[in-house]
Amino acid sequence: MLRPVEAVLEQIPYLEKEMLVLHKLISPGDVCFDVGAAGGTYMWLFARFSSPGGRVFSFEPRPRSARAIERFRRLAGMENVSVHQVGFAEQERSVTVLIPTWRGFQFTTRAFIAPEVDAELPEGFTNLLPMIIQLTTLDQFVIDASVERIDFLKADVEGAELSLLEGGKESIERWRPTVLLEIEDRHLGRYGQRASEVVEFMTDRGYRMLTFSNGELRPAGEVVEDENNYLFLPSS
């Protein structure tokens, strides 16, 4: 059973219990990547904990969401943050993203890349809105933006975790950042992939997997249904 504050956070959009442990994982001067920034809450926390001297790169490929977090960045005075309207994959390309809608409202946090076969409408929604977005690789962005290192990488990409990791494996192997991933079989299944493949990618590179619960980081052996966020720490 979660502590009351953790349980409350899990019920509020854009807030997650893992945010309670970030201050122990991010230090002043760190370089943080927020992939799939959505409402910008992680972005704000990264900016706070990495200051002074740190940098935050925030990525949100959907135009409306990118504009919203850019406004948030300016209003909050986050000078060490830059917002980039791009997504990450295993190679550079344009893709169609499907956004579930309900009575005309877009639920961008449930968006996913259109698969090769007909997409299944998530339960409870009434339509899928197509949107074309641009993807690059994490490794190519690092080169183009002259990024000198990555200390913390958070990604919430609705099932495209393996694609992101494959496109960033050189950077991950070089700098061995702390990695926080949302991993769920229901999202990965859209691409014919499994949660165990994401875990294997990370453990093969010398990472150990943990979850945050009841105020503690605990070792995790596998992805389970009642937990969707997993922290990977380099064994060294």
Range with lowest mean pLDDT among 45-49, 128-132, 215-219: 128-132
103 located within any domain:
no
CATH number at residue 212: 3.40.50.150
> 188-221: per-residue pLDDT in tens?
888 889 999 999 999 999 999 999 988 889 999 9
121 located within any domain:
no
54 located within any domain:
yes
Query: Which amino acid does the sequence have at 184?
Result: E
98 located within any domain:
no
Pairing of strands 178-182, 112-113: unpaired
Q: Residue 17's pLDDT is what?
A: 87
Domain count, the chain: 1
57 located within any domain:
yes
> 67-117: per-residue pLDDT in tens?
999 999 999 999 999 999 999 999 999 888 777 787 767 776 677 777 654
Whether the model clears a pTM of 0.85, i.e. scores above it, the answer is yes
**C-beta of residue 217 within 8 angstroms of C-beta of residue 210:** yes
Q: Is the pLDDT of residue 154 over 50?
A: yes
Q: How far apart, in whole angstroms, are the C-alpha atoms of residue 179 and residue 186?
A: 21
110 located within any domain:
no
Q: How far apart, in whole angstroms, are the C-alpha atoms of residue 100 and residue 97?
A: 10
Q: Which long-range contacts (CB under 8 A, 24 or more apart) does 127-131 make?
A: 127/100, 127/101, 128/98, 128/99, 128/100, 128/101, 129/98, 129/99, 129/100, 129/101, 130/96, 130/97, 130/98, 130/99, 131/62, 131/96, 131/97, 131/98, 131/99
**C-beta of residue 47 within 8 angstroms of C-beta of residue 78:** yes
Both tokens of 40, joined, read 């910008």
102 located within any domain:
no
Q: How far apart, in whole angstroms, are the C-alpha atoms of residue 99 and residue 122?
A: 10
Name the residue among 15, 44, 49, 17 with its Cα closest to residue 30. Answer: 49
127 located within any domain:
no
Residue-range definition of the domain harbouring residue 10: 4-89+137-234
> 160-172: per-residue pLDDT in tens?
899 999 999 999 9
